[in-house]
Amino acid sequence: MPRYVHVPTEATSHLIRQAYEAGGPYQWAREAWKNSEESGASIIHFGIEEQAAKSLGVLRRTIMDNGSGMRPDDLRTFLTTFGGGGKPIGVDGNFGQGFKSSVLPWNPYGVVVISYSDEAPDGAMLWIERDAEGNYALKEWNAADEEGDFVSRTDVVAPFYDEDNGCDWSLIRPSWMTTTGTIMVLLGAGPEADTWRGDPEASRHENVDGLIRYLNSRLIEIPSRDGSPIETTVVDLYAKRSNDRRDTRDKTVILPDGEAKVWRPRRIHGLRHFIPDTALNGTVVVDDHGTETDWFYVPEPEKPVGGTSDYIDQRPVVVVDYQGEAYHAEHSKSRYRHFGITDELMGRTWLIVRPPVYSDSRPTEWGVLTQASRNILISKGGLELPWEEWGDRFFDQFPKELAEAREKAREDRNAHVDADSLAKNLSRILDRLNPRFKASRVLSSAIGKITGNPTSSSAGGGGVDSSGDSPKQGSSARPRGASGPRQVLLPAGGGSTTGTISKGRGGFPAFKWKNFDADEAKQLARYVPNDCQKVDGVEYRGVVYLNRRHPVFVQEVNYWANQVWPKSDPAQVESVVLRVYGEEAVTHVVHAQRLDGTLVARTEEGNPVLMGRDDVQALLTPEALSAALLGLTNVEGRILTQGGGLFGRRNDTNT
């Protein structure tokens, strides 16, 4: 008989601890809710055990459901075995360790589980605890015969009156659990521990408000059972007030010290509930695997987040929908900019990305899967999620409603902005740059002999091509052979497209000055490729934003306006300074983009070494672009030349 891999008992606690640390705050609540939902429950209740509250003043969190329950043997397996939840184990299913690893480390005194099933209609109870050696084991009791004589030790008992812990375990069962169901009681670190707020680990900052907001944000939509959403509630505690008008709806419990506490249930609705019904919406397919992105834009004057304050962010987010749960929830500017959702729109736009789920049953197909911690998602092969590809494809098909909302917001904002701050002469810059900044790179060609895979760049692409035509919205950059726009290739043996080494050039973005928010105020500039800007009636793809109030630029404007041309109109001087710096920023971006696919060397074996997309992106980070705009003597020379034609000779005191 072969020897199978197993985990020694003394190693289990370390594995549980590692899984606990990998998970995030409130992971135990997600795991408990998911177990209840998969048991077929129509009611899931995060309550507080009343008996111990009244007798001892101890407030213990309970988790109850009216699902199918577990047989005694299944209970043992569930609590003592990794992969022991009684459900299929796989990368697209449960790992069988979630609840145990997320709850046991902060409940060393124990977790009591009582389950009512067809096999045990009066209930079967187990208690798992951490022993003196740090291992987790089932608590045992003496089993006696009908005459009261000792028979054996057992770890499964019927619920009983427990004076030491201040409750009768058989009386915890709620009236709505009519036949089957499961009850879990979290006992914390000791018999006097309060667990109703959640994990007491200080770094996790758990509390009831956070628990409610977590569940509302983690669950995208509450599944239906028999035509109605699963009734999910969380009980919160409030101090009793003499003028409380909710007495008829909420239960009041008197603690041993005489304090009155109100038991108030709060309903869980799921993230989708908080997107207003009036939101404009649509769906965009963002890759060749069928990944869809649902977008929702809430026009003014309605609030962008509906419902109550029981939603964690109180602002729209970008999330990935994995089997009905929200992962990678973000409302950062950088995440929105991947999709071309600019600062004007992000505060009113929700994005829900729905990629295919990777499955062991379809091992050759691409999909996403979750790590064992259930905290993050990865792509097939262990790769990060393809945010850039998703964002680029979304922007290529940018919804008309979002584009119109963006332009309206910019019109309203620009009504009070000096038009001279926009780029006026980018076509002149293109004429100067295009002949100079050509790069040797592999371009798609039907008759080419080099194989490679397409990148996101195309020769002649960008904000404006060499003929001065603006790009068409919704066009996607795909290889079209030698006759049309040619795709930049990354050489690879067995690549999908043929190409040749050629000289190529592309268009350029617009630039725009604005006051950066505090979280980006240290930057001089940033480049947003998935953005559009209209300049003199022409729409350009890609915008370089420059920080108007950064001290470097403030001092530059003051120097030229106050010292060099003090007799001229300061606004006109400022316009020249900002225009020249904007053109310089565009120059850096264009030059960096030209390097995508550039042949820079060959290895000893003769293989090409090329600049790739990641290399170009490194040159276009806000930090790199900001550094490139420092100490530019050529910029000062251009300012002096252009300003001299408008304002005359510089002030004699500075010659």
Reported as a pLDDT band with limits 50, 70 and 90, residue 96 is very low
pLDDT band at 647 (very low <50, low <70, confident <90, very high): confident
Q: How far apart are CA 207 and CA 561, in angstroms?
A: 56
Please, what is the average pLDDT of the chain? 83
The reported pLDDT for the residue numbered 460 is 43
User: Does an H or E element contain 646, and which?
Assistant: helix 633-647
Rounded mean pLDDT of 123-130? 95
Is the pLDDT score of 194 beyond 90? yes
Sheet containing 260-267, strands listed edge to edge, beginning at the edge strand earlier in sequence: 136-138, 124-130, 111-116, 181-186, 61-65, 43-48, 231-239, 260-267, 251-254
Taking only the tens place, the pLDDT of each residue in 373-396 is 678 899 988 899 999 999 999 998
Radius of gyration for the alpha carbons in the chain, expressed in angstroms and rounded: 32
What is the pLDDT, as a whole number, of residue 462? 36
**44 has pLDDT over 70:** yes
Q: Residue 472: pLDDT above 60?
A: no
CB burial class (10 A; 0-12, 13-18, 19+) of residue 55? middle
For residues 443-459, average pLDDT = 63
CA-based nearest residue to 439, from 297, 610, 209, 283:
610
- pLDDT for the residue numbered 36: 95
What is the spatial distance between Cα 130 and Cα 163, in angstroms, rounded to a whole number? 21
Q: Are 225 and 40 within 8 A, CB to CB?
A: yes
Q: Which two tokens stand for residue 528?
A: 């947003």
Segment 95-112 shows an average pLDDT of 85
Tell me the CATH class for 272-409. alpha beta
**What sign has the CA pseudo-torsion 534, 538, 539, 541?**
negative
Which tokens sit at 498? 């043929």
Q: What is the pLDDT of residues 146-187, one digit of tens each?
A: 777 777 889 999 999 999 999 999 999 999 999 999 999 999
Query: Which pLDDT score is estimated for 417?
Result: 37
**Whole-angstrom Cα distance, residue 523 to residue 536?**
27
User: Given a cut of 70, is residue 450 above it in pLDDT?
Assistant: no
Angstrom distance (rounded) from CA 44 to CA 209? 18
302-312 pLDDT, tens digit per residue, is 999 998 777 76
Q: What are phi and psi of 608, to 5 degrees?
A: -75, 140
Closest CA to 65 of 12, 117, 140, 3: 117
Note the pLDDT of residue 59: 97
Residue entry with tokens 């919406």 = 281
Least confidently predicted of 84-88, 270-274, 527-531: 84-88
For 187-210, what is the mean pLDDT?
A: 95
What percent of the chain clears pLDDT 90, i.e. is strictly above it?
A: 51
Instruction: Provide mean pLDDT across the span 336-340.
Output: 92
Strands 141-144 and 150-154: antiparallel
**Cβ proximity of 166 and 51 under 8 Å:** yes
**Looking at 48-62, 319-333, 548-562, 630-644, which range is the least confident one?**
630-644
User: Which region among 16-20, 53-57, 403-407 has the lowest average model confidence (pLDDT)?
Assistant: 16-20
What average pLDDT does this structure show over 545-561?
94
Angle at 423 (CA atoms; ends 422, 427), nearest 5 degrees: 155
**pLDDT surpassing 80 at residue 467:** no
How confident is the model over 604-609, as a mean pLDDT? Answer: 88
Q: Which of 9-23, 156-170, 398-412 has the lowest mean pLDDT?
A: 9-23
How many whole angstroms separate alpha carbon 321 and alpha carbon 341? 19
User: Do 232 and 268 meet the contact criterion of CB atoms below 8 Å apart?
Assistant: yes
Query: Per-residue pLDDT tens for 277-305?
Result: 999 999 999 999 999 999 999 999 999 99
pLDDT band of residue 242 (cuts 50, 70, 90) is low
Q: For the packed helices 426-433 and 570-594, what is the interaxial angle rounded to 10 degrees?
A: 40
Highest mean pLDDT, choosing among 19-23, 47-51, 639-643: 47-51
Give the domain ranges of the chain.
9-142+153-268, 272-409, 417-654
Residue 80: the pLDDT is 81
491, 441 contact by CB (below 8 A): no
Beta strand 538-547 pairing with 525-535: antiparallel
With H, G, I as helix, E, B as strand and everything else as coil, classify residue 416. Answer: coil
pLDDT reported for residue 18: 85
Which CATH number describes the domain made up of 9-142+153-268? 3.30.565
For residue 13, the model assigns a pLDDT of 81
Tell whether the model's pLDDT for residue 510 goes beyond 70.
Answer: yes
What's the CA gap between 648 and 198, in Å, rounded?
Answer: 72
Distance CA 585, CA 653 (A): 30
* Residue 456 reports pLDDT greater than 90: no
Euclidean distance between CA atoms 627 and 524, whole angstroms: 8
